[in-house]
Amino acid sequence: VRCEMLTLSTRSKEAIKTGLAMTIAYGIALQMNWDKPYWAGFAVAFISLATTGQSLNKGALRMLGTLVTTVVALVFIALFAQDRWFFMLFLSLYVGFCTYMMGGTKHKYFWHVCGFVCVIICMDAGPNSINAFEIAILRAQETGLGILVYSLVSILIWPISSGADFEATACKLASIQKQLYRSYLDLMSGQGVAEEAGALRTQAVQEQARFDQLLNAAKTDTYEVWEVRQQWGYYQSQAEELTETMERWRESFAEVKALDLSRLLPNLAPFSAELDERLTQIGRLLAKQPPERQPAAMDLDLDTAEVGVLSHFHKAALAVTRSRLQHLELLTRSLFDSLSDIKGFGQSITEADAAPLPRVGFVPDLDRMVGAVRVILTMWLAYLALIYVDGMPGGPGFVNMAVAFAMALATMPQASVSLLFVPATVSVLFGGLVHIFVMPQLSSFIGLGLLIFGMTFAICYLFAAPRQVLGRILGLARFVTLAAISNEQTYSFLKVANTALMFALIFLILAITAHVPFSLRPERAFLRLLGRFFRSCEYLMSTMRWDLEREVTRLDRWRETFHVREVSTLPRKLGAWGPHIDTKALSGTSPQQVQAVVTSLQGLTYRIQELLEERGSPQAEFLVQELQADIRAWRLRVQEILQRLSEDPAAGERETFRTKLDGMLDHLEERIKGALDKAPEGQFSDREGENFYRLLGAYRGVSEAMVNYAGSTDTIDWTQWEEARF
């Protein structure tokens, strides 16, 4: 007789582990006769992720957030026990602060827990300080229990390390970056396909995000990664910079397409082959194979005779492209050295000390502030309803759930509240049927444990895909809430009905606050962010003054830092809103057109960043004095166009833009030629001349990027975007 072992899928294993952890956590809490054992169930539900490292990281953040906010909650209760309005004011401000911090890049879940757990402790405790302390300690105990149980189960039963996924993702990211480099090299020579390059660019961004996520998890559950975590962190930043530098390189292709680069840069072919070979060797290192060769030192030579006959703007474009390629050379060499150190094939490298940036104080993010305002408003509406509406469904839990949902939505404002209706309705109906018809038939923990395990397994198995993580968490949370398992169990249809009504009222409040202080309709939000982008561009252009005589104040630096961050982050935010726009209801608009607008804005961002960088380079005083009036005229014209675009995104036409800007640049080139012709011998150094041409290329790049934006909006009917729709 031949016996074959049953092979379980990863999906089944993870569902079994979560179901087992949920059952054990409930069993221990009930055995200890703790009140509200479902808090332990919540901890299991919210930290169950794909790998052990990710789960442990999230569990640690949840536990730390619970401990910190326990102290904060007790302080609030001690200070404002007799004044509920001051109590609510400071509590809501604290929750708003936590919501703002959630929008940052680090420890988002920690701040989420700090916010909603503080509300839970404060609302459940009431004015009784003894009850408050007991609630706070119970919350910490049961959260710790759920985290401990799930951590032990995930470590001891079918542990899934993040290390293998991390290594695979690192290899895939390097492979995509190599393909992207080759694709851009073909585009620069006029042989590539822009659509293929765009697809590779999207893949690179996605894999970089996955790499960042898995690196944090691998540091926790993979000792080999933990040992060289600092080197991996340096490699991470260099890989991000490599992708961004290639994007900046791509943006210069339009200006050099008329140039014969093979003549102007005689060793371009061996230089490009060397970079390609380095990316290949990086792939070998990530595959744990020794490199076949070490990087060869390369410099991109210039044929001075050929360059000398070019126009000044062509010289500037060539200088920019050459600068980007040389920066790629530095980055690929640094990436190779980093991986050689990590994999044990080379010596440790020393990171260069970066120059300290000037301190400018707190610089707000407007979108994060708006999200915090919405959460505070939601909290106040729920609190006022609890006070003034007799018999409010859910009691204090109504405020708790409203804040938890509002904080979750603040990090993804593109998600409509209506998307929560279906999963919430299904969860309430299914959980209500179990609560009314199944649970009363159970007489021991054996039966109850089987029910807990079965329900948890079913939810985790059905919502196993990474994109279904919110559905899985919501389903588990609703089951835990509706089951209301405790040692003194009661069953009531009224409880289920009240829970359903509570969620309906919460969604109503969330729908109201979604329109405060302005609508979250995707096309409206897109237009609003578009206006902010151009206003920030206009301000930054106003700082490009060679005739600025007054000293730059701290306020000036603060404003510039704010607008630089706006210009840097708004294209990404616009890209997040774009897929949610209902283009079917907007005739003449397609998803491809929306993406083209976002791409053109990202190009303008890179060009303005280049202009800011080159502005700080030392320039020949002679050229500054000679060209000051002409540069000022160009700058004022660009500011005027940006100001019009901030009010009306369709305020320009491609050919009109090109005619006006090219005319000004042609005039500027004539002035440059005249200035250089009468410049005395040795008036400025070669370094100053190169800096000048790079600065000139940055000016030309801004003009070209604005023309590209106008071309991407030619066929979009912006008036439809502002029309009211129901």
51-77 pLDDT, tens digit each: 677 788 888 888 999 999 999 998 998
Gap between the Cα atoms of 367 and 573, Å rounded: 9
384-420 pLDDT, tens digit each: 999 999 888 888 889 998 998 899 888 888 878 877 7
Cβ neighbours for 390, distance < 8 A, ≥ 6 positions apart = none
241-280 pLDDT, tens digit each: 999 999 989 888 888 888 889 899 999 999 999 999 999 9
* pLDDT given for residue 127 in this prediction: 56
One DSSP character per residue, 205-248 reads HHHHHHHHHHHHHHHHH-HHHHHTHHHHHHHHHHHHHHHHHHHH
Assign 199 a pLDDT band (cuts: 50, 70, 90): confident
Gap between the Cα atoms of 666 and 479, Å rounded: 70
* 66 touches 73 (CB < 8 A): no
Gap between the Cα atoms of 402 and 424, Å rounded: 14
Gap between the Cα atoms of 251 and 263, Å rounded: 21
Peptide bond between residue 517 and the one before it cis (omega within 30 degrees of 0): yes
Could you tell me how far CA 422 lies from the centroid of its own chain? 27
Which of 24-38, 327-341, 473-487, 630-644 shows the lowest per-residue confidence on average (mean pLDDT)?
A: 473-487
* pLDDT given for residue 531 in this prediction: 93
Residue 540 predicted with pLDDT over 60: yes
How many other CB atoms are there within 10 angstroms of residue 475's CB atom?
25
**Two tokens, residue 19:** 């179901």
* pLDDT given for residue 2 in this prediction: 44
Gap between the Cα atoms of 560 and 596, Å rounded: 27
Q: What are phi and psi of 681, to 5 degrees?
A: -60, 130
Could you tell me how far CA 4 lies from the centroid of its own chain? 46
Residue 500 predicted with pLDDT over 60: yes
The rounded percent of the chain whose pLDDT value lies above 90 is: 29
* pLDDT given for residue 351 in this prediction: 46
* 658 touches 707 (CB < 8 A): yes
Q: Cα angle at 555 between 551 and 561, to 5 degrees?
A: 105
66-112 pLDDT, tens digit each: 999 999 998 998 888 788 899 999 999 999 999 999 988 678 889 99
Which CA distances in Å does 492 have to 354, 426, 432, 433, 501?
64, 19, 9, 11, 15
Assign 350 a pLDDT band (cuts: 50, 70, 90): very low
1-49 pLDDT, tens digit each: 444 445 778 888 888 999 999 999 999 999 998 888 988 988 888 887 7
Residue 528 predicted with pLDDT over 90: yes
Residue 164 predicted with pLDDT over 50: yes
Instruction: Return contacts of 615-622, CB within 8 angstroms, 24+ apart.
Output: 615/544, 615/695, 617/691, 617/694, 617/695, 618/687, 618/688, 618/691, 619/688, 619/691, 619/692, 619/695, 620/683, 620/684, 620/685, 620/688, 620/689, 620/692, 621/684, 622/675, 622/679, 622/683, 622/684
Residue 569 predicted with pLDDT over 70: yes
**Two tokens, residue 129:** 């300080």
* 9 touches 159 (CB < 8 A): no
Residue 669 predicted with pLDDT over 80: no
Residue type at 221 in one-letter notation? D
* 508 touches 401 (CB < 8 A): no
> Buried (b) or exposed (e) across 509-546, using 16+ Cβ within 10 A?
bbeebbeeeeebbbbbbbbebbebbbbbbbbbbbbbee
Q: What is the DSSP letter of 258?
A: T
* 513 touches 406 (CB < 8 A): yes
Gap between the Cα atoms of 199 and 205, Å rounded: 10
* pLDDT given for residue 4 in this prediction: 45
Mean pLDDT score of the chain, rounded to an integer? Answer: 84
Cβ neighbours for 645, distance < 8 A, ≥ 6 positions apart = 534, 651, 652, 709
Residue 451 predicted with pLDDT over 70: yes
**Two tokens, residue 330:** 């530095």
695-715 pLDDT, tens digit each: 788 888 888 888 888 888 877
Gap between the Cα atoms of 96 and 90, Å rounded: 10
User: Rounded to a whole number, what is the distance in angstroms from the first to the last CA of the chain?
Assistant: 68
How many other CB atoms are there within 10 angstroms of residue 222's CB atom?
23
The sign of the CA dihedral 698, 704, 705, 706 is positive
Residue with tokens 């080139």: 669
* 163 touches 224 (CB < 8 A): yes
Q: What is the DSSP letter of 578?
A: G
* 159 touches 50 (CB < 8 A): no
Best CA proximity match to 706, nearest among 245, 251, 201: 251
Residue 119 predicted with pLDDT over 50: yes
> What would you report as the CA-atom Rg of the chain, rounded to the nearest whole angstrom?
30
* pLDDT given for residue 267 in this prediction: 92
One DSSP character per residue, 462-508 reads HT-SGGGHHHHHHHHHHHHHHH---SS----HHHHHHHHHHHHHHHH
How many other CB atoms are there within 10 angstroms of residue 77's CB atom?
23
Residue with tokens 């490298």: 349
Instruction: Return contacts of 659-665, CB within 8 angstroms, 24+ apart.
Output: 661/637, 661/703, 661/706, 661/707, 662/703, 664/633, 664/634, 664/637, 665/313, 665/634, 665/699, 665/700, 665/703
Residue with tokens 């961002």: 605
Best CA proximity match to 60, nearest among 113, 100, 102: 113
Assign 725 a pLDDT band (cuts: 50, 70, 90): low
Q: Is 674 helix (H, G, I), strand (E, B) or coil?
A: helix
* pLDDT given for residue 518 in this prediction: 81
Residue 172 predicted with pLDDT over 90: yes
The mean per-residue pLDDT over the stretch 527-534 comes to: 94
Residue type at 349 in one-letter notation? I
Gap between the Cα atoms of 258 and 335, Å rounded: 32
How many other CB atoms are there within 10 angstroms of residue 606's CB atom?
24
Residue 348 predicted with pLDDT over 60: no
* 143 touches 66 (CB < 8 A): yes
Gap between the Cα atoms of 39 and 481, Å rounded: 9
* pLDDT given for residue 279 in this prediction: 94
Residue type at 132 in one-letter notation? A
